[in-house]
Structure 1
Amino acid sequence: MSQSPPASVLPGSAPDAAGVPFDGSFTALLDAGRAASLALASAPTQVKNQALRGVAVALRENVAEIVAANALDLAAGARNGLTAGLLDRLSLDDARIRSLADAVDEIEALTDPVGQVVRGSSLANGVKISQVRVPFGVVGVIYEARPNVTVDIAALALKSGNAAVLRGGSAAENSNRVLVALIQGALVAAGLPGESVQTIDPFGRAGATALMQARGQVDVLIPRGSAGLIQAVVSESTVPVIETGAGVVHIFLDASANEQWSADIVHNAKVQRPSVCNAVETVLVHEQAASRVLPGVLAKLAGAGVTIHGDAAVRALYPAAVPATDEDWATEYMSLDVSVAVVADLDAAIAHIRRYSTGHTESIITNDIVNAERFLNEVDSAAVMVNASTRFTDGGEFGFGAEVGISTQKLHARGPMGLPELTSTKWIVRGTGQIRV
């Protein structure tokens, strides 16, 4: 039996300003999602792929409608004081919508994980045992101002045989309403339940609270967004949570770091899209390389409008930097800001990362293979890199088509989550009358 939601969100109670009353429709929505998940779990791959093709076509054929709905959200966001980073995440234009459609095509082309045999064996008496991948069932996702997530999650959930219940937030409500309607149309056209993908945005914040308490109706909950949102879901949910963490991401410029690589990689990791979780937030530099490497790195960042928050050693080399505070080292800016510190050596860099990292992504720029291997082995994050931009920690870049999120926990999934991470396993045992003796 599912656990009842708190009194504030029980049927008939007053919703928040953005929501609608709970008149039983919320429970009905979750029940419909459960029923849809049963149909999806046994749906043939070709039927799921047909639905995915329909989603991609619907996105490409309805760009104008999606952009118009998104414009309403962007205008409301600007009025409500959303930061530049959140507005960037919220924005959908022609190129981004077509990129979403391309990602759906990529997911369609991927191998269906459902039914894959993970391992197996045969007992001496002839009993055959196998462990196979199965869908979770109903996946709930809570996220902020990211309508692209609506498409990514829906496509990945569909291919992996899961129903999705989405809370995309009031900031993207117009965009998400149009996107979910298009997705549901493609599902129905393929002969699958439209309730395989649903939004609870009309229920407002109370809906998000009820979703977190829907243990037994929702199998797993995945939050994507700010550190505050993620922590709230982890703390308040009775549904099992896969934590996608905030990104206090580091790059360490080692003593042997190549100057051009350092400038190019740090610039790319900070500037290409500063509002995302794999953007670098702290740059550490070996004291032996500081005077050689930092001027070029910081000049290129400053030329792109980045504010440098530096420690005393950095400011001595680059007086335009603002003084870094203790809070800066633990801050996920999601903006054109970066913290920079000079450290004594690799040990000091690793110690700093251990103290302040959120376990997302770290990179070292070095020509020293011993230091590179030490960094890879001793830094405990979901993705650890050598001589590469942290922006590569991404499901699309890793070949997943898209991603559910980037998990920073260690149980079940870690790093970018694609199709296999949306499955569990069960054991299949086949016998011919054997009994245990």
Structure 2
Amino acid sequence: MREATKALPAEPLDATALVADMGRRARAAAAILAQLSPEAKTAALNAAAAAIRAATPAILAANAIDLEQGRARGMKAAFLDRLALDAGRIEGIAKGLEVVAALPDPVGTVIAQWDRPNGLHIQRVRAPIGVIGIIYESRPNVTADAGALCVRSGNAAILRGGSEALASSRAIHAAMVQGLAAHGVPLDAVQLVETGDRAVVGAMLAAQGLIDVIVPRGGKSLVARVQTEARVPVLAHLDGNCHTYVDGAADLAMALSVVRNAKLRRTGICGATETVLVAKAAQAFLAPIATMLLDAGCEVRGDAATQAVDARVKPATDADWDTEYEDAIVAMKLVDDVDAAIAHVERHGSHHTDAIITQDPVAAEKFLAGVDSAIVMVNASTQFADGGEFGFGAEIGIATGRLHARGPVGAEQLTTMKYLVRGTGQIRP
């Protein structure tokens, strides 16, 4: 008898070739996208929202596959909740696209303009960056948010979502690009990496000349890898070690309300306060603030002054001042004044978001000027560190670097600038 033919082993993925091909196609699509009118992009984004709504059954079916695989791999309940979609969450994704569609188009916005003595008219205008690589984990809604923000800002996108959400991301992406294409957006303008192979991440990080900027959105290990290995510019933050400083001129009722929200509204987000500093002039506030947090189920780790106000306060270690807990845990410390608070934030913070609670405008302005963070607040919860709350419609992430964009990265932050110079035949002597 004839022997059965043995199945040949699958060829290993050539991640570098895959990313190179996607990058070349994205570059060609970006050239077309950069010339689309604001009205065409608006129509395309609204059509993408409608296509996602229409694809709800297919998206839910794909999400069920991801959830089943997640349970089989023993994913925690909180992780499965981030992954899970239902009709309401899909409607939220569609509405998010419509919000981005309604944003002013940043491309071509005149930032400044002036005339030179020789008659040249010079304008500095916003322009697309080109090709944006977005690397993210678990949340399938990022597929739509990131793609929409890139289209609004005239950029092509290469999306690499987490393998745990691959089926969901594929279904969302398929619906989205169908809607976009109906209004002139090239299919290659928003590409999805359809493999969970981690080698693709490395290839994207090394794709100089193919990808212009990388934006990571995920856990600390992912962002650390991106920042360590990337050979292209990165817009990202590593830690969200945020502070709320209660000044000597603070109102107690406001301090209690803001601190509770800043710490406990959602403990796992990057804008959650992790350390509360209290001025010596407001030392009487230590007890009510610590007790309020403890009674709400928050573990408090404090210095000697904070431990003295409630027996439930645990001693803080040196490491606590540098820790992003992402949990119902907070560090508390008594400091001399606003200058000492600024010094503590600068020594231990992550340059993400920090706030002062005060009725003293001089102290407020000193804190605003002295704290070198992407977002600095007065009398407001650090949990407002979010692109949606800033009126950006959506965000790809928070950037804490000092170049290009800082804070929430929305459509405007995904643009660069160029100069348009108009003359009447001038030559340089």
> 1:243-271, CA deviations, whole angstroms, 9 ceiling, x for partnerless residues?
33421000011223222222221221122
Kindly indicate whether the alpha-carbon contact (under 8 Å) linking 1:85 and 1:335 is maintained by their aligned counterparts in 2: no
> 1:362-420, CA deviations, whole angstroms, 9 ceiling, x for partnerless residues?
11112222222211121111111111101112111111111122111111111112222
Unaligned runs of 5+ in 1: 1-11
Kindly indicate whether the alpha-carbon contact (under 8 Å) linking 2:205 and 2:214 is maintained by their aligned counterparts in 1: yes
Kindly indicate whether the alpha-carbon contact (under 8 Å) linking 1:85 and 1:275 is maintained by their aligned counterparts in 2: no
Compare 91-100 and 110-119 and name the one that shifted more. 91-100
Superposed, 1:36-75 pairs within 5 Å as 36-74=29-67
- In the alignment, what sits opposite 1:5? none
Alignment match of 2:245 (pick from 248, 252, 257):
252
Compare 117-126 and 158-167 and name the one that shifted more. 117-126
- In the alignment, what sits opposite 2:3? none
Kindly indicate whether the alpha-carbon contact (under 8 Å) linking 1:89 and 1:275 is maintained by their aligned counterparts in 2: no
Kindly indicate whether the alpha-carbon contact (under 8 Å) linking 1:245 and 1:360 is maintained by their aligned counterparts in 2: no
> 1:258-307, CA deviations, whole angstroms, 9 ceiling, x for partnerless residues?
222222212211222222111111111223434x3334333443344322
Superposed, 1:333-412 pairs within 5 Å as 333-412=325-404
Matched, 1:297 2:289: yes
Compare 372-381 and 302-311 and name the one that shifted more. 302-311
Deviation at 1:77, TM superposition (A): 4.5
- In the alignment, what sits opposite 2:124? 131
Kindly indicate whether the alpha-carbon contact (under 8 Å) linking 1:245 and 1:406 is maintained by their aligned counterparts in 2: no
Distance 1:189 1:90 in 2: 29
- In the alignment, what sits opposite 1:7? none
Deviation at 1:130, TM superposition (A): 2.1
- In the alignment, what sits opposite 2:137? 144
Kindly indicate whether the alpha-carbon contact (under 8 Å) linking 2:51 and 2:175 is maintained by their aligned counterparts in 1: yes
Superposed, 1:101-140 pairs within 5 Å as 101-140=94-133
Deviation at 1:138, TM superposition (A): 0.5
- In the alignment, what sits opposite 1:429? 421
Deviation at 1:226, TM superposition (A): 2.8
> 1:55-92, CA deviations, whole angstroms, 9 ceiling, x for partnerless residues?
22233334454345445445544555656665554444
Unaligned runs of 5+ in 2: 1-8
> 1:168-196, CA deviations, whole angstroms, 9 ceiling, x for partnerless residues?
22232232222211211111222321221
Compare 420-429 and 378-387 and name the one that shifted more. 420-429
Output the amino acid matched with 2:217.
Answer: R
- In the alignment, what sits opposite 2:230? 237
- In the alignment, what sits opposite 2:155? 162
Alignment match of 1:32 (pick from 25, 33, 46):
25
Superposed, 1:186-197 pairs within 5 Å as 186-197=179-190
Deviation at 1:156, TM superposition (A): 0.9
Deviation at 1:153, TM superposition (A): 1.3
Q: Rate the CA distance shift 1:411–1:14 in 2: closer, same or farther, 3 A.
A: farther
Q: How many percent of aligned residue pairs carry the same amino acid?
A: 46
Q: 4+ residue stretches of structure 1 with deviation over 6 A?
A: none
Distance 1:21 1:434 in 2: 52
Output the amino acid matched with 1:234.
Answer: Q
- In the alignment, what sits opposite 2:165? 172
2:111 aligned counterpart, secondary structure: strand
> 1:112-153, CA deviations, whole angstroms, 9 ceiling, x for partnerless residues?
111122222333443332222211110001122232322221
Distance 1:400 1:434 in 2: 41
Output the amino acid matched with 1:401.
Answer: G
Instruction: Give the RMSD, CA atoms, in angstroms.
Output: 2.5
Distance 2:67 2:290 in 1: 32
Superposed, 1:283-322 pairs within 5 Å as 283-290=276-283, 292-322=284-314
Compare 234-243 and 116-125 and name the one that shifted more. 116-125
TM-score, normalising length: structure 2: 0.90
Distance 2:144 2:31 in 1: 21
Output the amino acid matched with 2:355.
Answer: S
2:203 aligned counterpart, secondary structure: helix
- In the alignment, what sits opposite 1:9? none
- In the alignment, what sits opposite 2:202? 209
Q: Rate the CA distance shift 1:373–1:433 in 2: closer, same or farther, 3 A.
A: closer
